[in-house]
């Protein structure tokens, strides 16, 4: 039954209309020579009654964050076959200052490092740490867009590739 609810949340959310308000990305060198990334995206849900999508959006974005997360440096806790579920999602869900917030750092050995805040009226803020620009891809998927596009057959293009010599 819980799996059916999870699929329903995904089905009701993918293809939602949103407008990206801001998209800030920053790379900072650490004292150890590594690059620390910070990404903050704010978008507005463009549906008639955006608040009814709060749980759905938080669940789907947290699912994507978990799914695309890399194993932590110490992967002794990494569970490769672990699937995102409502129980794990609920552990990271909080109500703060009138807003629904999902927050997670490490889950099942994955570097999730994601905070998602849904404000009344449909404004959503995603903040990630050391995830590069992953949130951009999540929003692409949230809108139901494919990030791989079909390129029609172009015989001149193929002939050009075939004529290249590799040295």
Q: What is the pLDDT along the chain (167 residues), one digit of tens a residue?
A: 556 787 788 888 888 999 999 999 999 998 888 899 999 999 999 999 999 999 999 999 999 999 888 887 666 777 777 888 889 999 999 999 999 999 999 888 888 999 999 999 999 999 999 999 999 999 988 888 765 545 555 554 444 444 444 43
Q: Which residues of 78-88 are buried (b: 16+ CB within 10 A; e: fewer)?
A: eeeeeebeeeb
Using the 8-state DSSP alphabet, how is residue 34 labeled?
P
Which of 101, 98, 99 lies closest to 62 in space, CA to CA? 101
- CA 60 – CA 138 distance, rounded (Å): 9
């Amino acid at each position: 039954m819980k799996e059916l609810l999870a699929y329903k949340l995904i089905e009701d959310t993918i293809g939602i209309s949103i407008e990206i308000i801001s998209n800030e990305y920053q790379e900072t060198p650490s004292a150890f020579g590594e690059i620390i990334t910070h990404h903050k995206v704010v978008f507005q849900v463009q549906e008639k009654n955006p608040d009814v999508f709060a749980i759905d959006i938080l669940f789907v974005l947290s699912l994507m964050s978990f799914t695309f997360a890399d194993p932590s440096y110490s992967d002794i806790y990494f569970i490769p076959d672990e699937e995102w579920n409502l129980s794990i999602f609920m552990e990271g869900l909080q109500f703060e200052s009138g807003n629904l917030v999902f927050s997670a750092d490490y889950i099942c050995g994955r570097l999730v490092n994601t905070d998602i805040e849904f404000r009344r009226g449909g404004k959503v803020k995603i903040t990630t740490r050391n995830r590069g620009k992953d949130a951009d891809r999540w929003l692409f998927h949230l809108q139901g867009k494919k990030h791989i596009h079909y390129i029609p057959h172009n015989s001149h293009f193929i002939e050009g590739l075939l004529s290249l010599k590799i040295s």
